[in-house]
Amino acid sequence: MIRGVIFDLDGVLVLTDELHFQSWQQLTAAEGIHFDRSINQRLRGISRMESLEIVLERATRKYTSAEKAALAERKNSIYLTYLQRLTPADLLPGVVDTLAELRRRRIKTAVASSSKNVPIIMERLGLHAWFDAVADGNDITRSKPDPEVFLLAARRLGLPPVECLVIEDAQAGIESARRAGMAVFGIGTPASLPGVARLAPDLAHVTVDELLRVD
Least distance CB 63 / ligand BG6 (angstroms):
18
| Alpha carbon distance 53, 40 (integer Å) | 12
Q: Which of 78, 156, 69 is nearest to 110 (CA)?
A: 156
Least distance CB 93 / ligand BG6 (angstroms):
19
| Contact criterion met (CB below 8 Å) for 139 and 149 | yes
Annotated catalytic residue 8 = yes
115 contact choice in Mg ion, ligand BG6, none (CB below 5 to 8 Å, kind-dependent): ligand BG6
The secondary structure element, H or E, covering residue 82 is helix 65-84
Least distance CB 140 / ligand BG6 (angstroms):
11
| Interface pick for ligand BG6 out of 13, 28, 51, 159 (rule CB under 6 A) | 51
| Alpha carbon distance 173, 136 (integer Å) | 13
Residue 47, interface with ligand BG6 (CB under 6 A)? yes
In angstroms, the Cα distances linking 103 to 8, 113, 181, 201 are 18, 21, 24, 22
| Interface pick for ligand BG6 out of 115, 166, 184, 203 (rule CB under 6 A) | 115
For residue 135, the one-letter residue type is A
| Interface pick for ligand BG6 out of 68, 116, 179, 198 (rule CB under 6 A) | 116
Annotated catalytic residue 139 = no
* Residues engaged in binding ligand BG6 (CB under 6 A): 9-10, 17, 20, 43-48, 51, 76, 113-117, 137, 170
